Amino acid sequence: MSMITATAIDKEIDARGSFCPGPLLELIRGVKSVAVGGVVAVLSSDAGSNKDIPLWIEKARHEFLGAFPEAGYTRFMVRKTH
């Protein structure tokens, strides 16, 4: 948790149990809605997110701040860079 608490989150989306549209689309929606430099966190319980989310962040050239496991879900964090 230490790194998460050290980083201010501008928008956090609870996408646990989201199958349609799903955590990745919720994350993209979040990234679109914050200003450049903003940090978005998305909570996902979908195992596919471990692959999907970092892939999209790389493709879209934003900064992946990490995946932080919690009880039964993972918090993914990204900084909008452009």
**Which residue ranges make up the site for other proteins (CB under 8 A)?**
13-26, 28-29, 32-33, 48, 52, 55-56, 59-61
C-alpha span between 71 and 48 (Å, rounded): 17
Q: How far is the CB of 12 from other proteins (least distance, A)?
A: 11
In the bound state with other proteins, the residue whose beta carbon lies nearer, of 56 and 68, is: 56
C-alpha span between 10 and 51 (Å, rounded): 23
**Does the active-site annotation cover 70?**
no
Among the listed residues 1, 20, 47, 71, the single catalytic one is: 20
Quickly list H helices, the chain.
Answer: 2-6, 23-33, 49-59
Which amino acids are annotated catalytic?
A: 20
